Amino acid sequence: MKKLLTASLMLGASWLGAMPAAAADALAGTIYLLVPNVTTSRIAKFDIPNITAAVARHAPGVELKVLNANDDMQAQMAQADAALASGTRGIILISVDPPRSASILAKAEADGVPVVTYAHDPGPGPVSYHVSVPFADIGEAQGKYLAENLPEKRPIKLALMLGDPKFAFYAEQMKGFDKYLEPLIASGEVEIVCRADALLYLAANAQKNMEQCLTRTNNEVDGVVVMNDDTGGGVIAALAAQDLVGEVPIYGGYDATLEGIQRVLLGWQRADMAPPYQAMADAAVQLVVAAAQGEAAPEGLVNGTWENGYAEGGVPARIEPNVFITPENVQETVIDAGLYTRDELCRGIGKQAAFCQ
């Protein structure tokens, strides 16, 4: 992914522009949103509702149809075929497996249907636009926070319970994280005792990996790095079985699930991150509507490119800045931002947090 100017990124969170009224009124028919699953918390809680609301704002004459592939790439390909056969005006695609989405992209181009890829990598094919966040920045922010908030003992025995390397953003995230982690390893302050990948970022895979790590190390782990909150939940389940929750901190969450934020408030997880969901959804809908009508993107909306190994110079992209969440700024970044209410945060395990007392 090409480096973006800071000035461009600063525009991201506040971009909630409107399509010209004539353009919005002119578009009719259907737009399909193809999602990989609804078990990933963010998809059901944030992505689908925000994209639905954005369609209502920017293209009130359009019907949004949401299809869930249940983490089955073959099913998603069939859903894309059905969407194209129905005469859809456009597709917003969150791919189950981006490297295998080339056939979806090629068929859509052949049918003259624009595809805006969202959150997950674009995949190697013709994409009209991509909407995401700078993943190297995620790794940098997570790595910096880890370096500044390590336990006092030395060396720190650290387990890396990572995600799925088939996704290009895995490498981007690790590139940023390694900027801080590698010097700690070289100095002897950190020792990596386990490293494993959770395919498809599934919590069950992360739990299994962590269980194996604890067995192999005889529970001698001082901290765990995760790539998102779902895999973090799998790690917590493995730690809970050994009565290590709260004793072994988790670093690096992403997506701002309810459980992830509650873990931050409890001190089990040291910080979290999230994309600005509403701004991303708004951008994706404006881009697919413009493309469906053969028009240029609204001025200023495209602020970068995203390499997909297919488009020369990269896919035109809207890159939104990430939000870093700590116990100190939960009110501003979570409650005031409309992700969760205080009441939601203070239910279940959240009741135990000092924030909720």
| DSSP string across 21-67 | HHHHHH--EEEEEEES-S-SHHIIIIIHHHHHHHHHHH-TTEEEEEE
Judged against a pLDDT cut of 90, whether residue 183 lies above it is answered with yes
- The pLDDT, as a whole number, for residue 25 is 53
CA pair distance 127, 110, nearest whole angstrom: 12
Q: State residue 106 phi and psi, 5-degree precision.
A: -65, -45
CA pair distance 118, 94, nearest whole angstrom: 5
- The pLDDT, as a whole number, for residue 43 is 95
Residue type at position 58:
H
- The pLDDT, as a whole number, for residue 136 is 87
User: What percentage of the chain exceeds 70 in pLDDT?
Assistant: 93
- The pLDDT, as a whole number, for residue 21 is 47
Average pLDDT over residues 160-165: 96
- The pLDDT, as a whole number, for residue 17 is 52
Tell which residue, 127, 109, 139, has the closest CA to residue 252. 139
Q: Identify whether the C-beta of residue 37 lies closer than 8 Å to the C-beta of residue 43.
A: yes
Judged against a pLDDT cut of 70, whether residue 322 lies above it is answered with yes
CB atoms near residue 163 (< 10 Å)? 24
User: Which residues on adjacent β-strands are paired with residue 269?
Assistant: 250
User: What percentage of the chain exceeds 90 in pLDDT?
Assistant: 87
Q: What does the pLDDT look like over 190-227, one tens digit per residue?
A: 999 999 999 989 999 999 999 999 999 999 999 999 99
Q: pLDDT category, 138, cuts 50, 70, 90?
A: very high
Q: pLDDT category, 13, cuts 50, 70, 90?
A: very low
CB atoms near residue 14 (< 10 Å)? 9
Q: Identify whether the C-beta of residue 137 lies closer than 8 Å to the C-beta of residue 160.
A: no
What is the separation of C-alpha 44 from the centre of its chain, rounded to a whole number of angstroms?
Answer: 13
- The pLDDT, as a whole number, for residue 22 is 45
- The pLDDT, as a whole number, for residue 6 is 27
Q: pLDDT category, 259, cuts 50, 70, 90?
A: very high
- The pLDDT, as a whole number, for residue 18 is 52
What lies within 8 Å, CB to CB, of 336 at 6+ separation is none
- The pLDDT, as a whole number, for residue 113 is 98
Q: What does the pLDDT look like over 295-312, one tens digit per residue?
A: 999 999 999 999 999 999
Q: pLDDT category, 3, cuts 50, 70, 90?
A: very low
Single pTM value for the model: 0.83
Q: What mean pLDDT, rounded, does the chain reach?
A: 91
User: DSSP strand E in the chain: where?
Assistant: 29-35, 62-68, 90-93, 115-118, 129-132, 156-162, 190-197, 223-226, 250-251, 269-270, 272-274, 304-306, 315-319, 323-325
Tell which residue, 237, 246, 163, 167, has the closest CA to residue 207. 237
Residue 277: HSE in the Cβ half-sphere, 13 Å Cα cutoff: 25
DSSP string, 216-235: HHTT--SEEEESSHHHHHHH
Q: What does the pLDDT look like over 17-74, one tens digit per residue?
A: 555 544 445 788 999 999 999 988 899 999 999 999 999 999 999 999 999 999 999 9
Q: pLDDT category, 7, cuts 50, 70, 90?
A: very low
CA pair distance 271, 146, nearest whole angstrom: 9
- The pLDDT, as a whole number, for residue 2 is 35
Average pLDDT over residues 314-333: 96
